[in-house]
Amino acid sequence: MLSTAQRQQIIQLVRRQVVPAIGCTEPIGVALAVARARETLGQLPARIEARLSANIIKNAMGVGIPGTSMVGLPIAIALGALYGRSDLCLEVLRDCPPDAVKHGQEFIAQGRIHITQASETEDKLYIDVEATAQDGSRARALIKGSHTHFARIELNGEIIFADTEDGPATSDPTTDEEVSLTLRKVFDFATTTPLSEIDFINEAAQLNMEAARSSLQGNYGHCLGKALSRPLGRGIMGESIFSHILSATSCACDARMAGAAIPVMSNSGSGNQGICATNPVVVFANENHNTAEELTRALMLSHLTAIYIKQHLGPLSALCGCVVAATGSSCGITLLMGGGYEEVCASVKNMIANLTGMVCDGAKPSCALKLTTGVSTAVLSAMLAMQGNCVSAVEGIVDEDVDRTISNLVKIGAEAMNETDRLLLDIMLHKSDPHQ
């Protein structure tokens, strides 16, 4: 049984990692750093230099920026400089006025923005922005480790804020790494914590399902969600819980990746992971006639499982984040089916046996296809688990112990796929220009 102190520690972890976001979190993280640098400078910069890790560049190249009908980093940087509010965190561009795009395009055309790869750092999430004023004043904002963690703020070379040697110099000394989780602890927390302490997770259901509904009002990305919802899609897939799960998940992703100004609840710095950990669980609970309490506990199990895995995998890797989030949703669906801890462990093993190795080749509209692959596997894995079928320890990377199985997944994603990550970025940077 978890102590009150342990429960409160986990609650604070979830509250830090499950937060609203508008737009893909990589370009939005860059816009956040730009906004903070401009605020520190106290005036509109004449020049902005953004030095970014390869993974940030990879995930920002092909994704839509909210409310702009444009893709990529330049417009995100321009809007961050002109209108960004760092106090809004991952909703930094929420208050952009109707003529923001025009002004952003003018800012870009003036040649103020310079983007380079920060090759000297091994941090996969690294955003170093220096803003220079016309009079030569300079402000620097450095984000690393997570999309909203400012590690350093400078003005004219003077350090205003910096991490201490013992960790972030913040009012909250608890870091996510200090919250030690196992799948057993995740399960016990989700299933035994007083409901009043965890019902905040229902906000994820409200935001992410609304994003799915809003997506049907436009034509976003590759319209995968719409395709599944139309007569042809229904004719092929049928009217089932399964097809509704796929549609609700892909709809929200379609809108988000295309740059719709629709907020979603993120997980571990990723809106897509938040969608993937939420919508399949909500749809299943609604159509399976689960109680409100059962849905709340399943959502918490889903999100906290994803957080647990991402703690060790890191915020950005060559392994697609939908593998992690869909594993969470499979746990949540298993719980809604009436499964206990053993069945949840089986669903995790079934997921890892199937999806390990799915690469992340950047954030983009086609992420909706990967999310759909992930959540379809989540349903199948839960079904097998409830029937007593689990991939055994003699098969592939699956271990008898579920936490060691998760560790094996993490080793592949965080270590073995580093060269894959470098090759992916090289391919993406050297493709022929489709607009030529």
List pLDDT tens digits, range 143-195. Answer: 998 899 999 999 999 999 898 543 333 333 344 456 899 999 999 999 999 99
Q: Considering only residues 435 and 320, tell me which one the structure prediction assigns the higher pLDDT.
A: 320
Q: What mean pLDDT is predicted for residues 312-322?
A: 86
Query: Rounded to whole angstroms, how far apart are CA atoms 115 and 173?
Result: 33
Q: What is the pLDDT of residue 300?
A: 98
Least confident of 87-96, 175-184, 254-263: 175-184
Query: Which residues are bridge partners to 140 per DSSP?
Result: 130, 154
Q: Set out the domains of the chain in order of their start, with CATH numbers.
A: 23-162 (3.30.1330), 181-429 (1.10.4100.10)
Contacts of 240 (CB under 8 A, 6+ apart): none
Q: What is the pLDDT of residue 164?
A: 53
Mapped to the 3 state alphabet, what secondary structure does the chain carry?
A: CCCHHHHHHHHHHHHHHCCEEECCHHHHHHHHHHHHHHHHHCCCCCEEEEEECHHHHHHHCCCEECCCCEECHHHHHHHHHHHCCHHHHHHCCCCCCCCHHHHHHHHHHCCCEEEEECCCCCCCCEEEEEEECCCCCEEEEEEECCCCCEEEEEECCEEEEECECCECCCCCCCCHHHCCCCHHHHHHHHHHCCHHHHHHHHHHHHHHHHHHHHHCCCCCCCCHHHHHHCHHHHHHHCCCHHHHHHHHHHHHHHHHHCCCCCEEECECCEHHHHHHHHHHHHHHHHHCCCCHHHHHHHHHHHHHHHHHHHHHHCCCCCECHHHHHHHHHHHHHHHHCCCCHHHHHHHHHHHHHHHCCCECCCCCCCHHHHHHHHHHHHHHHHHHHHCCCCCCCCCCCCCCCHHHHHHHHHHHHHHHCHHHHHHHHHHHHCCCCCCC
Q: What is the pLDDT of residue 429?
A: 82
Q: What mean pLDDT is predicted for residues 268-273?
A: 92
Q: What is the pLDDT of residue 23?
A: 83
For residue 266, give the nearest of 248, 281, 283, 253 by alpha carbon. 253
Contacts of 345 (CB under 8 A, 6+ apart): 183, 390, 402
Query: Which residues are bridge partners to 22 per DSSP?
Result: 263
Q: What is the pLDDT of residue 302?
A: 98
Is the pLDDT reported for residue 434 higher than 60?
Answer: no
Q: What mean pLDDT is predicted for residues 322-333?
A: 96
Is the pLDDT reported for residue 8 higher than 70?
Answer: yes
Q: How far is CA 328 from CA 68, 175, 317, 339, 400, in A?
A: 32, 22, 18, 14, 19
Q: pLDDT tens digit string along 334-368? A: 999 999 999 999 999 999 999 998 998 888 889 99
Q: What is the pLDDT of residue 433?
A: 61
Q: What is the pLDDT of residue 173?
A: 35
Tokens 């992971």 -> residue: 273
For residue 251, give the nearest of 221, 283, 273, 287 by alpha carbon. 221
Amino acid at site 159? I
Beta pairing class for 126-132 and 138-144:
antiparallel
Q: What pLDDT band is residue 414 in, cutting at 50, 70 and 90? A: confident
Q: What is the pLDDT of residue 183?
A: 98
Q: What pLDDT band is residue 374 in, cutting at 50, 70 and 90? A: very high
Q: pLDDT tens digit string along 211-229? A: 999 999 989 889 999 999 8
For residue 335, give the nearest of 193, 182, 187 by alpha carbon. 187
Is the pLDDT reported for residue 262 higher than 60?
Answer: yes
Q: What mean pLDDT is predicted for residues 410-423?
A: 87
Is the pLDDT reported for residue 87 higher than 60?
Answer: yes
Q: pLDDT tens digit string along 20-78? A: 988 888 999 999 999 999 999 999 999 999 999 988 998 888 888 988 889 889 999 99
Q: What is the pLDDT of residue 354?
A: 94
Distance, C-alpha 82 to centroid of its chain:
25
The fraction of the chain above a pLDDT of 70, given in percent, is: 95
Least confident of 133-142, 226-235, 338-347: 226-235
Least confident of 101-110, 126-135, 290-299, 408-417: 408-417
Is the pLDDT reported for residue 324 higher than 60?
Answer: yes
Q: What pLDDT band is residue 123 in, cutting at 50, 70 and 90? A: confident
